[in-house]
């Protein structure tokens, strides 16, 4: 914004002032060649008010009315242009924490050992996080054999909530749980965020990752300031894994495939990531602890441009006098007739 004091927010409205010139020219022409001038061919000038039913405006009165109109019109046009000459400085803050959620959508997340299913419980946990997030930007990545960015890191949590119902294990054709690729995608998302912000990852999964080097990858990210916590979904008792055809998955021997929560493996990841290990719960305690952890090291930071100018609109200084002048024109005139 310009450092000059007085300026207009929408200066193109000032072109409306040019309308005064053609109106004045029209008024001058109508005074010389208007209806009264033509009617004078049929009656004397002093008889015209009786023939037309209207009072003749003298030239001086006509131009006085024009000047009043021009003054009011100019005031309205200048008001529409938005005069400004002072401002208020406002300090901006951005959320000081960025949290990327890694949601496991492999087929085992459809197991119903927690009602209604592990994945449904995970979606509810994400919705609770989005509802309670204050000062935390959230991103969402769903992964199985391939990682998909569902939502980039944003403070628009409503957009994340809107996409949750569509997330299911049917989004991927090739099953598996490749956590390493999901971690790499999360790191790339966090790399685009402010360096001063606290960067964290939340893994929501039932575990059972067989990729080599995952713990080392998590430790390396923690050393770089990207911590990882785990929200475990499932039970140690486990349950059969549903298939796409409504039946349970079977192995090569025809045995029903069962999935159990890999609690030990998930705890090792949480330790390696310098984070928390929590079991998903319908109560709000788990989401509260996660958000507290995500913002524990750093409060909201001011942006690089700490203060912005918000210009004070002063158009009403012109609108209010115009309204006061025009109010008498809107009064209702009533004529009281006396009854005989």
What are 89-98's pLDDT values in tens digits? 776 655 578 9
Q: Which residue has the higher pLDDT, 54 or 83?
A: 83
Residues 59 and 121 in one domain: no
Q: How many CB atoms lie within 10 A of CB 142?
A: 25
Residues 66 and 106 in one domain: no
Residues 76 and 217 in one domain: no
Of the candidates 235, 242, 282, which has an alpha carbon nearest to the alpha carbon of residue 260? 235
Is residue 334's pLDDT more than 50?
no
Confidence at residue 39, expressed as pLDDT on a 0 to 100 scale:
53
Is 218 a domain residue?
A: yes
Question: Could you give phi then psi for residue 92, rounded to 5 degrees?
Answer: -95, 140
Q: How many CB atoms lie within 10 A of CB 165?
A: 9
Cβ proximity of 200 and 97 under 8 Å: yes
Give mean pLDDT, residues 292-299. 77
Burial class (CB in 10 A: 0-12, 13-18, 19+), 180: middle
Residues 57 and 179 in one domain: no
Q: Quick one: pLDDT band at residue 110, thresholds 50, 70, 90?
A: very high
Confidence at residue 134, expressed as pLDDT on a 0 to 100 scale:
81
Q: Quick one: pLDDT band at residue 338, thresholds 50, 70, 90?
A: very low
For residue 52, the enclosing domain spans 7-86+312-330
- In tens, the pLDDT along 186-214 reads 999 999 888 778 899 999 999 989 889 99
Residues 108 and 255 in one domain: yes
DSSP string, 37-76: HHHTTTS-GGGHHHHHSSPPPPHHHHHHHHHHHHHHHHHH
Q: Which residue has the higher pLDDT, 215 or 21?
A: 215
Confidence at residue 199, expressed as pLDDT on a 0 to 100 scale:
94
Q: First vs last Cα of the chain: how many Å apart?
A: 72
Q: How many CB atoms lie within 10 A of CB 33?
A: 10
Helix (H) or strand (E) run with residue 286 in it: helix 285-294
Alpha carbon distance 247, 328 (integer Å): 81
Alpha carbon distance 61, 47 (integer Å): 19
Domains in the chain, number: 2
- Which SS3 state, helix, strand or coil, does residue 219 take? helix
Q: How many CB atoms lie within 10 A of CB 289?
A: 14
Is 335 a domain residue?
A: no
Residues 139 and 287 in one domain: yes
Average pLDDT, the chain: 82
Indicate the angle between helix axes 263-272 and 214-223, nearest 10 degrees. 30
Q: How many CB atoms lie within 10 A of CB 306?
A: 12
The tokens describing 287, both together, are 């989401």
Counting Cα atoms < 13 Å in the Cβ hemisphere of 279 gives 8
Q: Quick one: pLDDT band at residue 124, thresholds 50, 70, 90?
A: very high
CATH code for position 277? 3.40.50.410
Confidence at residue 50, expressed as pLDDT on a 0 to 100 scale:
55
Is 105 a domain residue?
A: yes
Give mean pLDDT, residues 144-168. 93
Give mean pLDDT, residues 64-68. 80
Strands 239-240 and 258-259: what pairing?
Answer: antiparallel
Helices (H) and strands (E) in the chain, counts: 11, 12
Confidence at residue 57, expressed as pLDDT on a 0 to 100 scale:
46
Confidence at residue 336, expressed as pLDDT on a 0 to 100 scale:
39
Is 2 a domain residue?
A: no
Give mean pLDDT, residues 57-78. 77
Of the candidates 175, 96, 193, 177, which has an alpha carbon nearest to the alpha carbon of residue 139? 193
Residues 54 and 104 in one domain: no
The tokens describing 221, both together, are 């990210």
Residues 243 and 117 in one domain: yes
Give mean pLDDT, residues 102-119. 95
Is 337 a domain residue?
A: no
Residues 52 and 78 in one domain: yes
- In tens, the pLDDT along 72-81 reads 888 888 888 8
Confidence at residue 6, expressed as pLDDT on a 0 to 100 scale:
80
Alpha carbon distance 67, 27 (integer Å): 11
Alpha carbon distance 6, 18 (integer Å): 22
Burial class (CB in 10 A: 0-12, 13-18, 19+), 146: middle
Alpha carbon distance 164, 150 (integer Å): 9
In whole angstroms, how far apart are CA 262 and each of 18, 121, 165, 206?
78, 17, 26, 6
Output b/e per residue, 92-104; b: 16+ Cβ within 10 A: eebbbbbbbbbbb
Give just the sign of the alpha carbon dihedral 162, 164, 169, 174. Answer: positive
Question: Could you give phi then psi for residue 51, rounded to 5 degrees?
Answer: -80, -40
Is 154 a domain residue?
A: yes
Residues 235 and 148 in one domain: yes
Model pTM score: 0.63
- Among 54-68, 94-108, 158-172, the minimum mean pLDDT is found in 54-68
Q: Which residue has the higher pLDDT, 93 or 171?
A: 171
């Amino acid at each position: 914004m310009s450092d000059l004091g007085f300026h207009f927010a929408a200066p193109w409205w000032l072109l409306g002032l040019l309308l005064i010139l053609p109106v004045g020219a029209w008024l001058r022409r109508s005074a010389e060649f208007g209806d009264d001038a033509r009617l004078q061919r049929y009656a004397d000038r002093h008889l015209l008010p009786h023939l037309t039913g209207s009072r003749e405006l003298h030239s001086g009165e006509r131009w006085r009315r024009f000047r009043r109109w021009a003054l009011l019109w100019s005031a309205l046009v200048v008001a529409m242009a938005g005069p400004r000459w002072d401002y208020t400085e406002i300090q901006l803050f951005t959320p000081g924490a960025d949290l990327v959620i890694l949601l496991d959508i492999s087929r085992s997340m459809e197991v119903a050992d927690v009602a209604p299913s592990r994945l449904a419980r995970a979606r509810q946990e994400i919705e609770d996080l989005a509802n309670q997030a204050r000062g935390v930007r959230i991103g969402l990545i769903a992964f199985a054999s391939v990682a998909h960015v569902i939502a980039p890191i944003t403070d628009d949590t409503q957009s994340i909530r809107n996409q949750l119902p569509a997330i299911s294990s049917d989004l991927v054709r090739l099953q598996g749980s490749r956590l390493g690729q999901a971690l790499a995608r999360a790191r790339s998302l966090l790399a685009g965020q402010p360096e001063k912000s606290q960067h964290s990852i939340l893994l929501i999964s039932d575990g059972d990752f067989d990729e080599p080097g995952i713990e080392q990858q998590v430790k390396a990210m923690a050393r770089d300031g990207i911590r990882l916590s785990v929200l475990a979904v499932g039970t140690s008792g486990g349950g059969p894994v549903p298939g796409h055809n409504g039946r349970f998955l079977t192995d090569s021997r025809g045995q029903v495939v069962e999935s159990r929560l890999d609690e030990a493996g998930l705890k090792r990841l949480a330790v390696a990531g310098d984070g928390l290990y929590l079991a998903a719960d319908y109560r709000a305690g788990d989401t509260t602890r996660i958000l507290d952890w995500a913002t524990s090291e750093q409060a909201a930071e001011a942006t690089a441009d700490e203060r912005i100018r918000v210009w004070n609109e002063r158009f009403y200084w012109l609108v209010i006098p115009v309204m006061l002048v025009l109010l008498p024109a809107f009064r209702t005139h009533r004529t009281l007739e006396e009854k005989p």
